[in-house]
Amino acid sequence: DTEVTQTPKHLVMGMTNKKSLKCEQHMGHRAMYWYKQKAKKPPELMFVYSYEKLSINESVPSRFSPECPNSSLLNLHLHALQPEDSALYLCASSPEVADYSNQPQHFGDGTRLSIL
Amino acid sequence: GDSVTQMEGPVTLSEEAFLTINCTYTATGYPSLFWYVQYPGEGLQLLLKATKADDKGSNKGFEATYRKETTSFHLEKGSVQVSDSAVYFCALPTRGNTGKLIFGQGTTLQVKP
């Protein structure tokens, strides 16, 4: 069973729509991540939250807006996306961020996003 | 900077064949090393990990040994099954309190009955 839950599993939206992706974990982890993954490629990091504060933004376009309402929840708000934004969006969590951490990240099954 | 190099795929094997997927890394320090697996339509799952030199991680019949002298963490399994068909990623965490992971490019494994 996946300990990181993502909803929805699939999302189709037009370029003018606004939608949100949701992620939830109940492992008490204090670091949460958003990744974008294209087919057969490794995940690309987008954002890192540590103790509910945004610690890393990997130069992601402003049409992606993350939010961490509490230590268990992570949202990704989407607005005015482009066709090239179609991808699998993965959420992950880990106990905390650390130097050369030996704590693995736990991934959800992702939201498959298609932009029309 | 730190990096991971993973053998290119796809790798196609018959059931019960021996599997090796090569992974080498460069790092300024002594990071932990991970293998993740991604089954079709799913997210990444941790397959195994090793936290220091000469450690052997193992899970579900897969093994990998952290070799500092050759900077390698090759994944092996003695007898693959059709259900092992997936994409495999080697990964290491970065230096500094960032939480970032450096992934290899991924190796697609297809096992035929």
Q: How far apart are CA B49 and CA A102, in angstroms?
A: 8
Q: Give the pLDDT confidence of B83-93 residue by residue, as tens digits.
A: 999 999 999 99
Question: How is A74-90 classified by DSSP, letter by letter?
Answer: EEEEEES--GGG-EEEE
A94 chain-B contacts, CB cut-off 8 A: 99
Q: Which parts of chain A register pLDDT below 50?
A: none
Looking at the complex, does the CB of residue A13 fall below 8 Å from at least one CB of chain B? Answer: no
B99 chain-A contacts, CB cut-off 8 A: 31, 33, 48, 50, 55-56, 94, 96-98, 101, 105
Based on C-alpha coordinates, what's the Rg of chain A? 13
Pick A99's closest partner by Cβ from B49, B51, B95: B95
Mean pLDDT of B61-68: 97
Q: Give the pLDDT confidence of A88-99 residue by residue, as tens digits.
A: 999 999 998 877
What confidence score (pLDDT) does residue B29 get? Answer: 83
Min Cα separation A93/chain B (Å): 10
Beta-carbon contacts below 8 Å between A and B: 75
B87 chain-A contacts, CB cut-off 8 A: 40
